C-alpha cells in the first residue's frame, strides 16, 4: 500500500476582499509533499506562491483574507479545521517555515539565541542551561561561526546570510516533519545562496523532513527538488518530477519559462520573453488564465478552464492542448 503524503493540498482557495473586489490569490491549488522529499513551487512574482505557503501554515490574515475552499491535509488532519490553539502547537513544532526576509521575521529587540530558546521552551519544554546548550548546537549545525558568541547578538549585528542561517536554526529547533522555505535565498549573494540550499538539503537528509520550497528560480528547482509544481495566476498549471519537467515541459507557460532562462552557450541576442501580461487577480473571465498569452490557444481555451490532468505517470498538466511535442 502506498504511503499517504505528509502534506496534501487539495483545491485550496484563498481570496482577499479589498475595496469591493475579490482578489483570487490562490484559486484551486493542489499538490502533495512526500516525506523526505522536496517539492518546488515555481512561478513569477504575484502568482500566489507565498500566499499558498502562508495558507498552509494558517498565517493568512483574516480579514481581509478568506479561506474560500479546499483542504490542507497534514499527516491526515485538515489544518483548516483546527482551532487556533492547536495550530500554534503545530507551528514551530511539527511544521516550521523559513520566511523570505529574515530581517523582518526576526524580532529586533531580542537576541537570536533568546528567540530560538523561546521556541524550544514552547515546544520541547527546554529551559535554562539545557536550552542554551541546544541553541549553540543548532547554530553550529547551520554553520554559524562562533555559534556560542553569536547567540548573544541581535539580528542587526548579523549579515544577511547569517540571519538566514539563524532563521533555519529557528525553523529546525524542534525537528519538524514539514519545512516550508519561502524564497530562502532572496537578496543573498550566489555563494551564500548555494550554502543555504546545501544546508536545507543536508538537514532534510538527516531528519527525513518533507520540504516545500517556494522559488522563482528554475536553477534552484533543478538542483534541489525532487518534484515541481508550476503556478500561474493563482493556479497550478503543471506538476511533474523535476527530470520529467525539464526534459519535456507540457504546459505552454512552462515552455515559455524554460525558453526565457539565460544560457551561457546561447547566441548573443535578445532573451526570449512571454508576450502579454498576467490577468488581474480580480478577473472573472472564463477559460484558461494563460489563454491571452498562449500561442496554442483556441476557442475552447478561452471559454473553459482546463483541469489538471495526467499526461504520463506523475506528470499532470492543466491544458486542453496537452500533450504537446517537446521543444526541439
- Cell readout for 215 is 522559488
Question: What residues of the chain score a pLDDT lower than 50?
Answer: 327-328
In whole angstroms, how far apart are CA 323 and each of 21, 64, 290?
Answer: 36, 39, 16
Name which of 230, 180, 181, 289 is nearest 31 in CA terms.
230
Give Dmax over CA atoms of the chain in angstroms.
68
How many angstroms separate the CA atoms of 11 and 73, rounded?
11
User: Is the distance from CB of 13 to CB of 68 less than 8 angstroms?
Assistant: yes
Helix H or strand E encompassing 99: none
Query: Which pLDDT value is given to residue 33?
Result: 95
Which 3 state secondary structure label does DSSP give 87? helix
Query: Which pLDDT value is given to residue 38?
Result: 95
How many angstroms separate the CA atoms of 89 and 58, rounded?
12
In whole angstroms, how far apart are CA 165 and each of 109, 139, 151, 161, 283?
Answer: 18, 8, 12, 6, 40
For 287-312, write each residue's pLDDT tens digit: 999 999 998 999 999 999 999 999 99
Q: According to CATH, where is 3.40.50.300 located in the chain?
A: 7-94+174-317
Pairing between strand 235-241 and 315-317? antiparallel
Q: Is 94 exposed, middle or buried (0-12, 13-18, 19+ CB in 10 A)?
A: middle
Q: Thinking of the domain 7-94+174-317, which architecture would CATH place it in?
A: 3-Layer(aba) Sandwich (3.40)
Query: Which pLDDT value is given to residue 268?
Result: 57
Query: Which pLDDT value is given to residue 73?
Result: 96
Phi and psi (nearest 5°) for 102?
A: -65, -25
* Bridge partners, 240 (sequence order): 228
Q: What is the pTM of this model?
A: 0.89
Amino acid at each position: 500500500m502506498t504511503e499517504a503524503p505528509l502534506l496534501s493540498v487539495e483545491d485550496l482557495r484563498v481570496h482577499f476582499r479589498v475595496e469591493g473586489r475579490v482578489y483570487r490569490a490562490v484559486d484551486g491549488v493542489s499538490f502533495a509533499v512526500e516525506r523526505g522529499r522536496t517539492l518546488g513551487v515555481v512561478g513569477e512574482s504575484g502568482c500566489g506562491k507565498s500566499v499558498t505557503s502562508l495558507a498552509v501554515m494558517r498565517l493568512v490574515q483574516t480579514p481581509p483574507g478568506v479561506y474560500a475552499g479546499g483542504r490542507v491535509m497534514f499527516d491526515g488532519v485538515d489544518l483548516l479545521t483546527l482551532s487556533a490553539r492547536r495550530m500554534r502547537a503545530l507551528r514551530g513544532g511539527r511544521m516550521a517555515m523559513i520566511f523570505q526576509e529574515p530581517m523582518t521575521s526576526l524580532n529586533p529587540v531580542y537576541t537570536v539565541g533568546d528567540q530560538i530558546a523561546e521556541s524550544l521552551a514552547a515546544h520541547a519544554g527546554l529551559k535554562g542551561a539545557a536550552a542554551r546548550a541546544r541553541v549553540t548546537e543548532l547554530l553550529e549545525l547551520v554553520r554559524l561561526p562562533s555559534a556560542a558568541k553569536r547567540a548573544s547578538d541581535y539580528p542587526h549585528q548579523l549579515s544577511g546570510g547569517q540571519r538566514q542561517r539563524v532563521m533555519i536554526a529557528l525553523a529546525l529547533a524542534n525537528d519538524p516533519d514539514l519545512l516550508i522555505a519561502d524564497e530562502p535565498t532572496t537578496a543573498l549573494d550566489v555563494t551564500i545562496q548555494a550554502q543555504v540550499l546545501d544546508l536545507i538539503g543536508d538537514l532534510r537528509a538527516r531528519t527525513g523532513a518533507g520540504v516545500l520550497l517556494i522559488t522563482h528560480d528554475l536553477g534552484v528547482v533543478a538542483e534541489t527538488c525532487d518534484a515541481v509544481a508550476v503556478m500561474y495566476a493563482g493556479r497550478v498549471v503543471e506538476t511533474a518530477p523535476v527530470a520529467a519537467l525539464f526534459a519535456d515541459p507540457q504546459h505552454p507557460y512552462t515552455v515559455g519559462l524554460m525558453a526565457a532562462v539565460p544560457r551561457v552557450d546561447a547566441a548573443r541576442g535578445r532573451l526570449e520573453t512571454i508576450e502579454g501580461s498576467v490577468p488581474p487577480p480580480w478577473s472573472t473571465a472564463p477559460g484558461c488564465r494563460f489563454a491571452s498569452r498562449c500561442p496554442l490557444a483556441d476557442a475552447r481555451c478561452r471559454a473553459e478552464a482546463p483541469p489538471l490532468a495526467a499526461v504520463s505517470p506523475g506528470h499532470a498538466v492543466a491544458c486542453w492542448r496537452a500533450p504537446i511535442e517537446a521543444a526541439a
